[in-house]
């Protein structure tokens, strides 16, 4: 009755707990977490703050991808090299980053808040 599956998941879904979608993981990093476990349907990985510089009013964070697992394929290819954010802080107020830099497949994309 069920079709024969040629490919099977390379992870045990029962062991996946406390993971977020990519946008929620990014927001977790923005609000101050150092690590956020992520699942996007095809991959499982952790967003980890590896480098952090700052002052009382501004902070720069470099986010790397670690513990990368492709659920449906054998390769470990991860084309995202890093994400870097520059964020200002006010009086206990959260603000979106001024600048987001994304290094992907050797190209650098820069997004600036307007």
Q: Using one digit for the tens of pLDDT, what is the confidence trace for 68-78? A: 888 887 777 77
The predicted-structure confidence for 52-90, as pLDDT tens digits, reads as follows 887 777 889 999 999 988 888 777 777 889 999 999 876
Q: Look-up: residue for tokens 């994304």? A: 102
Residue ranges per domain, the chain?
A: 15-112
Is residue 97 within 8 A of residue 113, CB to CB? The reply is yes
Stated pTM of the model: 0.80
**pLDDT tier at 110 (50, 70, 90 boundaries)?**
very high
For residue 29, how many other CB atoms are within 10 A of its CB?
A: 19
The pair of structure tokens assigned to 100 is 């987001």
Name 24's Cβ contacts closer than 8 Å, sequence gap at least 6: 36
Is residue 27 within 8 A of residue 60, CB to CB? The reply is no
| CA distance linking residue 79 with residue 15, whole number of Å | 26
In whole angstroms, how large is the CA radius of gyration of the chain?
Answer: 17
pLDDT of 91 > 70? The answer is no
pLDDT of 10 > 80? The answer is no
| CA distance linking residue 46 with residue 103, whole number of Å | 17
């Amino acid at each position: 009755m069920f079709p024969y599956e040629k490919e099977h998941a390379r992870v045990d879904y029962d062991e996946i707990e406390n993971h977020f979608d990519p946008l929620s993981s990014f927001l977790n990093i923005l609000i101050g977490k150092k690590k956020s476990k992520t699942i996007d349907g095809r991959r499982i990985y952790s967003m980890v703050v590896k480098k952090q510089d700052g002052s009382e009013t501004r902070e720069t964070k470099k986010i790397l991808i670690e513990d990368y697992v492709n659920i449906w394929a054998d390769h470990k290819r991860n084309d995202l090299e890093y994400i870097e954010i520059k964020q200002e802080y006010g009086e206990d107020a959260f603000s979106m980053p001024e600048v987001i830099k994304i290094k992907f497949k050797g190209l650098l994309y820069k997004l600036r808040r307007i």
